[in-house]
């Protein structure tokens, strides 16, 4: 059984979707070993506790990044995680963190990268006028929203969309995409050629 470590900062809907997919067997061969938040009062942490999962708040406020990250690294190691999933974790990881888990950290971003990295990706997409948007699950490297892409799912942008309606349509796809990407990575049946994530047949 592979062990997942989830990092979040807020609402936690992607975490919940992963937990639900594990419970229903749609995502198999893994379990959630620990849920960590840099905000002790994150909604996602409350959900994790309700489900009887190990939930840890490691407050970032007022602390140096390296020191805060070191504590999270220790926690992830203590829980012997195989794969780390950033699920709305709103803090940049230090290079030390990324290097501690090479090709072992995934993130989900609400745009079709490399378009619209950073904050408010859905609003950026609307303002740019794209007609397709979506989400990307990618490995985390030392640059923001940049690592190798594991999986993307696209949605149509309608003329009537605002940030709220577009975000909701993308989020629905996020909840499918993240578990699929985790399954692919955990299978080990892939190789990375350049920046391409190729499934081994
Ligand atoms: C999602 O839109 C995700 O793509 C982005 O942060 C948001 C987190 O939402 N990285 P939730 O906390 O999983 O509901």
- To the query of whether residue 109 is one of the catalytic residues in this protein, the response is yes
- Judged against a pLDDT cut of 90, whether residue 201 lies above it is answered with no
Q: Are 65 and 36 in contact (CB under 8 A)?
A: no
Q: To the nearest whole number, what is the mean pLDDT of the chain?
A: 97
Task: Tell me which residue has its CA closest to atom 7 in ligand 1.
Answer: 88
pLDDT computed for residue 117 by the predictor: 98
Report the pLDDT value the prediction gives residue 114, as an integer from 0 to 100.
Answer: 98
The tens digit of pLDDT for each residue in 139-191 reads 999 999 999 999 999 999 999 999 999 999 999 999 999 999 999 999 999 99
Question: Does the Cβ of 134 fall within 6 Å of ligand 1?
Answer: no
Q: Which one of 12, 37, 108 would you pick to mutate in the ligand 1 pocket, going by the greatest count of ligand atoms within 8 A of its CB?
A: 108
Q: What is the dihedral of CA 79, 31, 8, 49, to 10 degrees?
A: -90
Helix boundaries (H) for the chain: 13-24, 43-50, 65-78, 95-100, 121-128, 163-187
User: By percentage, how much of the chain surpasses pLDDT 90?
Assistant: 96
Q: Is the CB of 87 under 6 A from ligand 1?
A: yes
Q: Is the beta carbon of 136 within 6 A of some atom in ligand 1?
A: no
Tell me the three state secondary structure of residue 21.
helix
Q: Which pLDDT belongs to residue 168?
A: 98
| Per-residue pLDDT reduced to its tens digit, 21-80 | 999 999 999 999 999 999 999 999 999 999 999 999 999 888 998 899 999 999 999 999
Which pLDDT value is given to residue 62? 87
Residue 172: predicted pLDDT:
98
Among 98, 94, 124, smallest CA distance to 110 is for: 124
Q: Is the pLDDT of residue 132 over 90?
A: yes
Contacts of 159 (CB under 8 A, 6+ apart): none
pTM (predicted TM-score): 0.97
């Amino acid at each position: 059984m592979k062990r997942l470590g989830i990092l979040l900062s807020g609402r936690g809907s992607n975490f919940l979707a992963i937990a639900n997919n594990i419970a229903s067997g749609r995502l198999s061969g893994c379990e959630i070993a620990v849920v960590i938040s840099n905000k002790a009062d994150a909604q996602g942490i409350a959900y994790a506790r309700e489900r009887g999962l190990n939930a840890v708040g490691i407050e970032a406020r007022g602390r140096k990044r390296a020191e805060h990250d070191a504590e999270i690294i220790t926690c992830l190691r203590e829980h012997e995680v195989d794969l780390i999933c950033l699920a709305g974790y709103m803090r940049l990881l230090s290079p030390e963190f990324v290097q501690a888990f090479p090709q072992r950290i995934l993130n989900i971003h609400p745009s079709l990268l490399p378009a619209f990295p950073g904050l408010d990706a859905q609003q950026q997409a609307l303002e740019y006028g794209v007609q397709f948007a979506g989400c990307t699950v990618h490995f985390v490297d030392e640059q923001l929203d940049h690592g190798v892409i594991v999986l993307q799912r696209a949605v149509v942008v309608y003329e009537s969309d605002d940030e709220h309606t577009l975000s909701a349509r993308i989020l629905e796809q996020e909840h499918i995409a993240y578990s699929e990407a985790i399954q692919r990575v955990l299978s080990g049946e892939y190789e990375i050629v350049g920046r391409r994530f190729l499934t081994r047949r």
